[in-house]
Amino acid sequence: MATDQLIKTCGRLRLWRSTQGFWWSLTSRVGETWCWDPASKLFTATCYFSRTVMAATVGLEWTLSHEERGELGKQQAPATPLERTQLSPS
């Protein structure tokens, strides 16, 4: 979308803003894009927009902190972002 604005980057995670709201995306190691769903606390193929950055980030803290430290790539993690997120503490 032409109105999408990149707000923050944390490794492979990106926080976006558009007229619909805020959302996080993750680019997998093979180049696939996944969107964070704060309600289900899973990465999905569908973007879920939130009214605030805080609402968009709900449940993503563990993943953000590990990606920020560069630990997600070093861990022996499942192949997909969805499986990796399901292992994160709630």
42-44 β-sheet, strand order: 5-10, 13-18, 21-27, 33-37, 42-44
Domain residue limits, the chain:
5-86
Tens-place pLDDT, residues 24-63: 999 988 899 999 999 999 999 999 999 999 999 999 999 9
Is the predicted pLDDT of residue 75 greater than 50, yes or no? Answer: no
Using pLDDT thresholds of 50, 70 and 90, give the confidence band for residue 74. low
